[in-house]
Structures are given as C-alpha cells and as structure tokens.
Chain A
Amino acid sequence: MTWEILISLLAATVQSGTPILYATLGEIFTERSGILNLGVEGIMLVGALAGFLGAKFTGSPILGFVLGGVFGLGLAGLHGLVCIGFNGNQVVSGLALTILGTGLANYLGTPFIGQSAPGFSPMPAPILSRIPILGEIFFHHDLLIYLSYLIPPLMWLFFRYTRWGLGLRAAGEHPEAAAAAGLNIYRFRWAGVLTGGFLAGLGGAYLSLAYTHLWTSGLTAGRGWIAVALVIFAFWHPLRAVLGAYLFGGVMAFQFRLQALGADLPSSLLLMLPYGLTIIVLVLSSWRGRGDQAPAFLGINVEPSE
C-alpha cells in the first residue's frame, strides 16, 4: 500500500518537474551563450497562455504546444533586441520582460480564466511502460514528458561535439577571442536567447496543456525563477538540470499530496516550501565559489566595434 503511494508520488514528481525542466534547459542554453535572461517567468506565462489559446482555437494540443514555444521565442526576441541589438543592461531587461510577460498574460488571458482547452493525457509508452517500477514512474505519462527526456542528452551532445555548440559556448566564455577567431558571436548569442525562449515557452505551455488543463492567472507561480536558480544548481550542465527539476517536482508533488490529505498545516505555510528550498539549493550550490563555473562573460554585453 505505502509502496503504491511512493510510486505514484514519484510519477507525480516527474510530471511536476517537467515544466521546470523545459525552462531550466532553455535558460542553460541562453546563459551558455553569455546572455542572462531573467525574463523566464514572464516567458513561461506567455507560453502558457499561447499554448492554451492555440489548443482552444485550433483544437490541436500539439499545435498549441508549438505556439507556446513560438511566443516564448518572440518574447525572448525582445530581450535579444534590447541586449544584443541595443547593448542594454541584461538584468534590467530581463526584469522588464517578466513584468511585460506577466502583464500580457493577465491582460489577454482575463476573459478565459477558468476555461479549459483540449490538452495532453497520459499515454503509456509501448513496451517501456511494462518495466517494473521504472516503467510506472517514467513511462505512464503524456507525450511531452517523453519529449523532455530527449532534450538533455541532445543538448549535452550539441555543446560537446558540434561546431555550433562550441561556438555558442565560446560566445559566453570568451567573446573577444571567439570574434578574433572569425566567429560571429552576435549570431550565436541570438541563437542562445531565441532557443532558450522557445524552450521556456514550451515549459509554460506544458503547464496549461498537460498539468492544469485550464487557464488561471499566475499559473507559473514562480517556476520561471526556480528555473533560473536551477541553472546555477546544475552548474550550466544540461544533464544535472534533470536532477534539479525533479527535486523541485518532488517537493511540489509532495506538497499537493499533503494538502489533499488535509494535513493540519495552513496552506500558506505549505506553499512556502518550494521557495524556501530554492534559497537552500542556491546557497548550497554557490557556497565556496562552486558557482564560479558560470560562463565567464555571462551578463556582459559585447560592445559594438567600429
């Protein structure tokens, strides 16, 4: 009996961790290129709304999911325009993006609060789902979760073994040397920002299409900021991001169960858990300069040359 509860809790962990995983991977991609994007929270919200509306009006959840990514990419494009195009401060631009994105999602989404849209439902994966324990935890989910399993290894391979991956990392580690070697670092930074925005948008769309199945205001509840913190926890490494995302997925799943069981704790105190944990995780991974593995030119603009 308790065994079954544990398995279902772990399966719920994977599900709650997935939107954070998409967003964290996106931010890793962006930060590796040297651009800090603090707008993830806003991008996720806009992605969630775009995904929801896309699915609602086209009737196709897949189209909605892709639209979520595309709108995330568009919003991240504003960040690219301000920081890469106009040399603006990356921290402030990211904050502005979060304010703008939150506003946009609330403004355009107000008429749809409480409505539902066609979404994704669990589809046990053939064969894999029959693996004892692991199959139950990892392969009784929706398509988008299976998709999210593919991204971290692909991203790792991309960074490690491809020329473009190397160029993107060079734009974050040492843009001047990269430029001297003949690379167009602006192009790599644009690629980093846009891809990151696309992934964060997908993470947002996951929330409205596969997690809640309906639209409410403030759907992300700080998940975008948790993703930004998890990038540090992951030391900018896509495979470690999986660990971080599922850690938070676990806490959120646990918190839900506790609430559903009617635990004798005020819900506001219970809701503090993920935020408090974010601080703890951040402190532990920054301690003794372990966070120094950040790309050397993260957050620093490259001045336009004459």
Chain B
Amino acid sequence: MGKIRVMKRQEPLGWRSCLVVLGAAGVSLVLSGILLGLQDRPPLTAMVILFQGAFGSAWAIEDCLIKAVPIYLCSLGVAVAFRLQIWNIGAEGQFALGAVGATAAALYFPDLSWFLLLPGMALAAFLAGGFWGLIPALLKIHMRANEIIVTLMMNYIAILFLDYLVYGVWKDPASFGFPMTPTFSESAIVGRIGDTNLNWGLALCAVCGLLVWVFFRYTLLGYELKASGENVRAARYARLPYERLVILVMVLSGALAGWAGFIEASATLNRLQPSIMVGYGYTAIVVAWLARLNPLYIGLASFLLAGLRVGVENLQLELQVPAAFGQIMEGLILLTVLAGGFFTEYRLRLRPRP
C-alpha cells in the first residue's frame, strides 16, 4: 500500500484543464441520471431526449440562442463584478428592474417612433438596473454591508415590486384578470434578424462582449480593476480608487442585467408579466464561473446552459420530468467543476511506502 501525497503543480495545466471540465460534466450527468432513475425514468433515454431537445434541430438551436441572450448579458455583468471580487448575486433583481424600466418607457410613450422609443427603453433599463446595482455598492463602501446578502435580498424585493406593478397599476384591463401589462406597441418591440426567430439582442450581446473584452484588455481602468480584484490590499496601497471601482462595476453589472430584462420583455414576451422571472440571473452566476469570467467563454457557456433549459423543456414534455431538473444539473455542474479545479492546481502522487 502506498500513501497519496498532494503536491502543488509547478506549471499550469494548460489544455488539459478542459479534461477537468469534461470530467466534471460527466460526473454531473451520471449523478443526475441516477436521480432520473429514482423517479422511474430511463436515464439513458432521458439524456438522449435532453440533448436532442437542445441541439437536435435548427429550431432547437434557434431557441437556445434566444435564451442565451439574457443569460449572456446577465453573466457578463456578473463577471465584471466578480473580476473585482465583488460578489454580485443580484443579477436576478437587476434584470427585473431593467424589465420594469423598459416597460415603463414602452407604456408611457407608446406613440413614439421606434428609433426614439427603443433607445429610450434601453436607457430606462440601464438606469433602473444600474440603480439596483448602485445601492449595494454604496452600502458596501459606506456601511461595509456584505454585498452578497444585500444583492440577494434586493432580488426578492425587485421581484415583488414587479409583481406589484403587473398585478396592480400596470395590469391590462383586457387581460381577463391575468397579471400582465398590455402588449407593447409595434415601435417598442426589438425586431427579428432577417427571416429567423432570433432578435437583435444577439447583436447587443456581441457588442457588449467586445466592449467588455476591450475594456479589460486595453484600458488603464480595466487594468486597475483586474489588479484590484487580485489583491485588494495591494490596490489600496497603490492608491487605486477602490471605492469608485466598486461603484463602477456594480452599476455596469446592474445595467447589463437590466438590458437583459429589456430584451426579454420587449423581444421575447412583448409585454411585462411575472413569468419573465425564470432564474436567468442565477444561471448567469453558474455561467460566469464556468467561463472563468472570460467574455468569449461566457458566450459558449451561456449557449450550453440555455441548451440545458431547452433540453429540460423537451424532457418535461416527453417524460414529465419536473422543470427543476435543470436547476439540479446546474448546481451539480458548478459543484463538480469547483471540486475539479483542485486537479488543475494540485496533483496527487502515489508514493510507495518504504
């Protein structure tokens, strides 16, 4: 019998770190397969249905791309904050506020032409989402309040506020009592790209992703931000404006999530209703971490996790598996990837006992 020793790796793992992610995904699939078996569903068939539903047809891939848009914007925002080691868990609430802001513009100025109204909605969503990110930032730097808890509590408050609006003042009189606003006017709807079902939100993602990438890679502010995130104490010592950076990332983070809400309300639902809240803000955290905060990888991970959602919808249809199955898989993937990170930093060595 030998003894296992843990050694720190001297050089980075490189491409083999992909294997760690694949291994983690494999473990999650096996575990969720077992869960399916527990409820008397055939695990292998179910996995096939999941993957076919997600990526098996042009229509499915289109659906994945549509769902990837809000996830991408939220996740990009979350990643900007995580870069500074600010744990913004509030994308869900910032998304809700963004949707509320955009809806307010759409409902109060329905007759404006689209080239005024759409930018107006975007601005309103930016301000509302950014405002929802600003509050925890101010509470953090002035009162030292933990941003994780504040952003999370603000999620609950934002969702209740959205409910309050659609059940009350904004309810469509012609909706037979359903909690929803009237359909937006034509000029308040973000259009589709060509003959596809995809909307221009996809282009917004590309632009935002590129801007964030350029910001971190080529601007002094972006560099300061990355440096502060890696070592807050050193950054303060070097007189970097840490407080202002916190405000900047939280407003930006909230605004990006707010834009996700704007696109979702305008392009996907064409109105505001409670079902707009499906947990994209939480999925965004999973995505940001899987993609190691890199804007390009975030795109890939958003697409894959959107695929998981689409696939689970198919699973729900074919095998009556509850929708929460997708959440279980998200949680498992994140946990296993976290655990797998160990093997990129350390290696195990079996040493024969002398």
- Chain A residues proximal to chain B, CB less than 8 Å: 38, 42, 78, 81-82, 85-89, 91-93, 95-108, 110, 222, 225, 228-229, 232, 266, 268-269, 271-272, 275-276, 278-279, 282-283, 286-289, 291, 303-306
Contact = CB atoms under 8 A, between A and B. Distances in A.
A108 B37 CA distance: 12
A35 to B, nearest CB: 14
Interface in B164-209: 164, 167-168
Contacts of B89: 95
Contacts of A304: 6, 346
Contacts of A93: 334-335, 338
Contacts of B341: 86-89
A222 B153 CA distance: 8
A276 B7 contact: no
A286 B144 contact: yes
Contact of B160 (A92, A104, A106, A271): A271
Contacts of B340: 86
Interface size classification for chain B: 35 or more
B322 A106 contact: yes
Contacts of A42: 331
B143 interface: yes
B144 A289 contact: yes
A-B interface, 9 closest residue pairs, ranked by CB to CB distance from nearest: A100-B331, A103-B327, A106-B324, A88-B338, A103-B328, A96-B334, A86-B342, A86-B339, A99-B331
B328 A268 contact: no
B152 interface: yes
27 contacts: A38-B148, A42-B331, A86-B338, A86-B340, A87-B342, A88-B342, A91-B87, A92-B285, A95-B282, A96-B338, A99-B330, A99-B331, A103-B325, A104-B324, A105-B324, A107-B322, A107-B328, A110-B322, A222-B152, A229-B153, A268-B161, A269-B160, A269-B164, A271-B160, A279-B154, A286-B144, A289-B144
A268 B145 contact: no
A278 B153 contact: yes
Interface SS of B by simple majority: helix
Contact of B286 (A99, A288, A303): A99
A232 B148 CA distance: 12
Contacts of B145: 279, 282-283, 286-287
Given A92-B289, A278-B153, A289-B144, A102 B335 contact: no
Interface in B299-330: 322-330
Interface of B: 5-8, 35, 39, 87, 89, 139, 143-146, 148-150, 152-154, 156-157, 160-161, 163-164, 167-168, 282, 285-286, 289, 322-332, 334-335, 338-342, 345-346
A289 B146 CA distance: 11
A202 B294 CA distance: 40
B331 A96 contact: yes
Nearest to A83: B338
A174 to B, nearest CB: 18
Contact of A268 (B148, B154, B163, B322): B163
Contact of B331 (A81, A97, A288): A97
A78 B331 CA distance: 11
A103 B7 contact: no
Given A81-B339, A88-B341, A103-B327, A95 B149 contact: no
Contacts of B286: 96, 99
Contacts of B144: 286-289, 291
A219 to B, nearest CB: 14
Contacts of B154: 275, 279
Nearest to B135: A279
Contact of B334 (A99, A101, A269): A99
A14 B40 CA distance: 42
Contacts of A266: 164, 167-168
Most chain A C-beta atoms within 10 Å of own C-beta, residue among B7, B286, B338: B338
Nearest to A304: B6
A100 B328 contact: yes
A110 B327 contact: no
